[in-house]
Structure 1
Amino acid sequence: MTSYRDLLREKQAKNWIKAALALNITKEGLHEFVEDVLTCVHHDIYNTIRTSKSLQSGAICLHCFTENVLQCPTRGICTSPKNCRFHKAANQMYVPCPNGICGGVRNEIIQHHRFTGPSWMNTNADKWCTSPWEIGKCFLPPDGYKTVSSVKDSDFNSVISVMMNCKDFEKKLSFNIGAKTNLLSEVRGFGRIVRHSHDQKIEDKPLANIFFKLRSLLEDQTDLANRPEAQHAVEQLNQLQSDELNINAQNELEMLKEGLRLRLNDHYQTTLDNMPISPILAEKDAKLSSCYVAPTIIEKNHKKIGRVGQSGGREVATFSDMFCHEGHFLRNVILVGEPGRGKTTFSAMCALEWTHQYSQAGEKIERKERFGDSDFFLESLHFCSMLHYEIQVRNAI
């Protein structure tokens, strides 16, 4: 079997690593720029609300959650007040802000969004007053970023998405962000090329274009050209392209792990997205994400099964309940049930949930309400490797 280290000896594979590192370098060069613009957006929104409502200069609200701020229905969130999966509890219903602030902030975020469609699933409204980034998350792809706590913790795609979707960046860049094709849309496309390369290889000419466009963005004359962190990133890009930048073992390891993540993502979406609708109709497939119903799972102590008075157990309500104990991954989880009760399908859906974080906005799998912690699988590479093993064992029997 060809190892990853053998693959790295190929020129095109080295080019892919260079491209991936170039995206990371560019993202780091844009951090402070994005943070500064979002801080200004935050100030503008709250100054507008306080002025329009004659509130004190320091008036804030820390009590409204995202569910409380959005009416039902809200486009892209919920469609029916009768069976809403977003406003699903008494304390998660829409209510006017008691301080008269959060509803106005919501409306201002919509006005600042280029397409008037903020990503409400990403944000925590109770943190809007204190965190510019929490408002910035409304300009990210539809969901998958709720637990991302800062610009630095986000990925390249999210940083570029904020710049494209927030209208306040228009005055900070020299080109027309609203044009169908512009420099931001081009570099975002490079991110997709790198992340969705089926073999993690890039030819010399496309790589040269990636470096040229990334430098062009970082050297934009309106603002970025005057920022030291952006120009430091330009220097690093030049060194990387000319093989003068030292790629240490840690960098190489991170790229290897990223390559494995991408291969697992493609494998799961190719092999698991469609499953037989019944064990007795193995030739009839259906899209798993559209018809999946989570099984009822009861946690039991295997040492006490069969004892008198031990027939019951605790129902599993979250993925954490299933796979963790006191904050740590369990080494072994045994899922027991009669044939056809959904053990293999449950494992497959867990793998698809994990791939959700690596899919682009237009490629997200359809997700229905299953467990309360859908972000559980973020960055759980080792866990999904284990799932792959279990699914393969089941199929081999």
Structure 2
Amino acid sequence: MMKKLQRRFIMITMGSLALVVFILLGSINAVSFYQMDHKVNEEIKILSENQGAFPNYKRDDMQKFGFEMNPETQFQTRYFVVKVDKNNNIKEIDAEHVAAVTSGEVIKYANKILSGSKKSGYKDVYKYSVVNEPYGYMLVFVDCRMQIQQATLFLIISCIVALVTLICVFILVSVFSKKAINPIIESMEKQKQFITDAGHEIKTPLAIISANADVLELTSGKNEWITSIRNQSNRLDRLVKNLLMLSKMNENLDLVFSDFDLSKVAVEITKSFQVIAEKQNKKLLMDVQSSVMFKGEENGIRQLISTLVDNAIKYSNDNGTIKISLRSIKKSIKIEVYNTVDSIDKENLNKLFDRFYRSDSSRSRETGGYGIGLSIAKSIVERHRGKIFAKSEDGKSICFTVLI
């Protein structure tokens, strides 16, 4: 239990931190890319408004152009311009401000852009814009090689820093997580110890009460009061046994798994409830796939099926229907126990697995339920690393599904 809580604590902590780091990392890199793209767009805008050339620098140009233009901007920016007529025939090429492409490559870039429908975007390491002119079009290409390299380098460095940070935090959380969950572990251990001690202490007076009831019956004869005493002492004895069983299930005990025929077990257990169902005028149906083999703790699985079937019979409506089905699906086994009811609150289905939760207290008193049987069933399923859940589609029936 301690290792399970420790792993969960580490997973939640690291998951939360990783999410924050991911959002922070994404935001920083998004802002960095936006700034780079904005700067390039402003440069293209200047070139577009000045027939493919930078104007002479003036001090008030920074405010005019929307970014920090300086006397070196026109020399630092690598670009080329292509002018074409309305028939897409190339009229003029200006590739004097870039050394990475030849005139032939410039023509290829221009033809690729003209053959498409986009007016702006990226082509390799160049960002382009198609500007409408009286004579046709002007294509402006700005080399973003350095900006892309810087953005990529910043992304790689930030990812490495984030990864190293997460690893360091993971080590620290792993080291100190035990101290963080110690109070919870101690509280749970005290709770389990209390249940165990109280259970053993209650057994003695229960045995005495039962023995006294037998003596009273021998001396005074059988009557309703003695019968009530015996019934209630038996009920309390079963409750104590279930509590002790549930407490043991929560301990980290090694399970002994073995291969067995789950279909045979399901049929055998369900048939044992056939007589009970018939006495209550209820219909018990089976839909069990044959020869379904399973590797697990057989006694635990027997108790799981017995608990679900018993629960279905107890809480089904008068003249109701109970159906047990078992199927092998993909890499797991699906067990479904269905029963009809008069009505059920669909919003509180998950609470059915809570200890001592009873959706209908009066109905539970009639059936002798404690609200603990489904908690035991859930513990058995979790010990087999499976899932159990309840669903109700119409509010007039309920189906418990086990995937193991």
TM-score by length of 2: 0.24
Q: Which structure is larger by alpha-carbon Rg, 1 or 2?
A: 2
The normalised TM-score by structure 1 is: 0.24
More strand by share: 2
Q: Which has more helix, going by share of residues?
A: 2
